[in-house]
């Protein structure tokens, strides 16, 4: 039972750290300044998830924007680039960003090449930390009481 406890504890700590990194990145993006930009390409791309062997879909929205007179191009939708199990979920996002649409772009003032169209304010960024906490508690319980 102790081996299982150690595994739960290690997975819990790893998830907690990953969650911390996600939250920290999302908080940084919240402070980024914005400029106007234009969508130059908008499509859904697919890839095979190596772990689940399932086809995943993601919005691929390329946009141009200027910072201090210099033009940049980026394709990041949000701080956390999330893939979806169903093409319709990615299409819903892509449909909001047709080519030629003027958009608000949030850019990293320290590195203007890095930008996003949305500031991920989703509860999803907290899931790894919550799961990490649960796994850590279970692992500690198994180690000390199992």
Structure confidence by residue, pLDDT tens digits, 25-49: 778 888 899 999 999 999 999 998 8
Structure confidence by residue, pLDDT tens digits, 99-124: 999 999 999 999 999 999 998 666 67
Give the β-pairing of 34-48 and 55-67.
antiparallel
Mean pLDDT score, 11-36:
87
Q: Cα(63)–Cα(138) distance, rounded to whole angstroms?
A: 45
Can you name the CATH fold of 33-118? OB fold (Dihydrolipoamide Acetyltransferase, E2P) (2.40.50)
Stated pTM of the model? 0.74
pLDDT at site 76: 92
């Amino acid at each position: 039972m102790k081996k299982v406890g150690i595994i739960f504890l290690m997975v819990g700590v790893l998830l907690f750290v990953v969650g911390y990194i996600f939250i920290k990145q999302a908080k940084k993006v919240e402070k980024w300044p914005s400029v106007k930009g234009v969508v130059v390409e908008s499509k859904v791309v697919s890839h095979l998830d190596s772990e689940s062997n399932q086809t995943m879909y993601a919005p691929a929205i390329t946009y141009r924007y200027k910072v201090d007179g210099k033009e940049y191009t980026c394709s990041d939708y949000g701080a956390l680039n999330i893939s979806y199990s169903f093409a319709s979920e990615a299409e819903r996002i892509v449909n909001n960003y047709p080519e030629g649409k003027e958009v608000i772009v949030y850019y990293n003032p320290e590195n203007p090449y890095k930008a996003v169209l949305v500031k991920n304010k989703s509860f999803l960024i907290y899931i790894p930390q919550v799961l990490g906490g649960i796994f850590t508690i279970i692992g500690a319980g198994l180690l000390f009481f199992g």
